[in-house]
Structure 1
Amino acid sequence: MTEGILTGEGVLLDSRPASFASRLLAGLLDVLVLGTVVIGIVVVLGVVAPELDEQTGQALLVVALVLVMVVVPTAVETLTRGRSLGKLAAGIRIVRDDGGPVRFRQAFVRALTGVGELWLTLASVALITSMVNDQGKRVGDILAGTYAVRVRGAVRTLPPLTMPPPLAGWARSADMGRLPDGLALSVRQFLGRAATLHPASRVAMRDRLTAEVARYVAPPPPPGAPPEAFLAAVLVERRDREYASASRAAEAARAEAQALQRLPHSVPDPVD
């Protein structure tokens, strides 16, 4: 099976860092987009500036620069989970060092650092740092704990889950609430790639997911049950119960449809 990082959108990421050329292309495209925004702001300021005093104009200019250099890049990377327009076109994504999606903190650190290493130095610092770093990181990536990976655009088939035999009896009798779709997806992805994770990341993610899932299950699993076995048992039992419920609903719908097709008062249906 091809190894990689599976995102919440079901996209397989190459675990290897993106090439310098891909990052350079993505950066140039992003600069082109932001440059277009800057030109638009300059045009607007040129129209309204004659009607404003000098101090107000300078304040608007500072706000515009902060918006373009920090606010917009932070918002885009946070909302798209590391995929700006340039990165989307180049087929790369920014992820955390543990393979997870970037959050606001990482995006903000990258954008704030980019003011110095990208804008004020015309990207010379970022280019040099990316060329000498093994993972192609720029200074913002080093401070934020992120790097760029390639997106293969494929869907990874996860191995099927099976019920751990020691927990089968407990799972059948346990009261399980419906797990949020996002939590169920996170657990499923974790179980599918747990063996490939760094031991420390595996333990941390396992404990966090176990604590979240435990809120929807009562009673708790038997003492000494492995956390990953507990997670697998919950997902398998949840899947089996939902399948049984859907089967019963489909059977009831078929029976109702057959009843509606019959004539009333026990009159037999006509024979063709």
Structure 2
Amino acid sequence: MHGGESVQVHGDSLPPRDRPPSRVGYGAEVATQGILTGEGVLLEAEPASFASRMLGAAIDYLLAAAVLVAALIAASSVGVASDSGGRIAVIVAMVTVLVLVPVTVETLSRGRSLGRLVSGVRIVRDDGGPVTVRHAIVRALVGVVEIWALLGIPALIASIASPHGKRLGDMVAGTYAVRVRGGPSGRAPLVMPAHLAGWAHHADVARLPDSLALAARQFLGRAPQLSPASRAELGTRLTAQVLTHVHPWPPAGTHPELFLAAVLAERRERELATEAARTRRAHLEADAFTRLPYGVPDPTT
């Protein structure tokens, strides 16, 4: 399938590969601005609202404060052999609650936390990508000063003044908060068509734009509710546009909906594999960060 050769899909001749297909309008108004995650969740490109950020932050910091107070009370009730031992216990408790726990949770959850889960917010990089352990460490360390030491006043002022709602930690780390919009609930799961699995495994689907992937996903979820004529027309149009981002093309005679399902299922599996590898690296980086140098034993263990 090269040059001007066309592909027969469900009896219809799709546009030749070197001829740009018409743009697909279905779902485009929803997906023109956003980041599509591997779970099929659309993140708004616009920053999260001030109220959402404050709600998530209030939950997280109240929980952290409660845990810290409980840890300090537990340390004092147990008692220590010396004043230096008491100071070490306090420092270890503060570092664990204010730095290590937030860094670990934010890294492994890709920018989420309990408070952000409740408020529907996620922390992402300025380019829209997931945060790494480096971003989480910077945010946590700056947060110790701007939030805990200075009672959150600098963070509040910076968040109000910043067009993206960034606190100082976000400005230093290069991150900001976005609102998670929509979700996979209520959608039929993506299933790889068995006869297309071999082709999809070797196909290049990485160039598929997020907006087009979202439009195709919405179409597959709502196709049963469309009239037969609209379903066939829209499926063919979406397939024609997706074909410009996929190589090699599917076998001749492939049904448009099966083709779209195969592309999206393969894209999802590759993103899940990438995420699993990223999580393993984050575990290793977090372990290296918390391990004391030169074989010094960890006083918390």
Shift of residue 143, structure 1, vs aligned partner? 1.0
Aligned partner of 1:92 in structure 2 is 121
Tell me which of 100, 104, 119 is aligned to 1:71.
100
What amino acid maps onto 2:180 in structure 1? V
State the secondary structure of the residue aligned to 1:148: strand
Gap runs ≥5 in structure 2: 1-27, 188-197, 213-241, 252-257, 263-301
Q: Report how many aligned residue pairs link the two structures.
A: 186
Distance 1:23 1:62 in 2: 29
Give the structure with higher Rg (CA).
Answer: 1
Shift of residue 11, structure 1, vs aligned partner? 1.1
Contact persistence 1:12–1:155 (CA under 8 A)? no
> Larger helix proportion, structure 1 or 2?
1
2:172 aligned with 1:143 = yes
Aligned partner of 1:18 in structure 2 is 48
Contact persistence 1:17–1:135 (CA under 8 A)? yes
State the secondary structure of the residue aligned to 1:232: coil
Runs of 4+ in 1 over 4 A off after TM superposition: 175-179, 187-190, 228-231, 234-237
Structure 1 pair 43/98, CA: closer, same or farther in 2 (3 Å)?
same
Tell me which of 191, 201, 220 is aligned to 2:208.
191
Aligned partner of 1:154 in structure 2 is 183
Contact persistence 2:205–2:247 (CA under 8 A)? no
Gap runs ≥5 in structure 1: 158-174, 196-227, 244-272
Shift of residue 98, structure 1, vs aligned partner? 1.0
Mean Cα deviation higher: 55-64 or 40-49: 40-49
Aligned partner of 2:67 in structure 1 is 37
Percent identical pairs in the alignment equals 46
- Alpha-carbon RMSD across the aligned residues, in angstroms, is 3.2
Structure 1 pair 233/83, CA: closer, same or farther in 2 (3 Å)?
same
Matches within 5 A, 1:33-182: 33-49=63-79, 51-155=80-184, 178=201
Distance 1:95 1:145 in 2: 9
What amino acid maps onto 1:127 in structure 2? L
TM-score, length of structure 1 as denominator length:
0.60
What amino acid maps onto 1:44 in structure 2? A
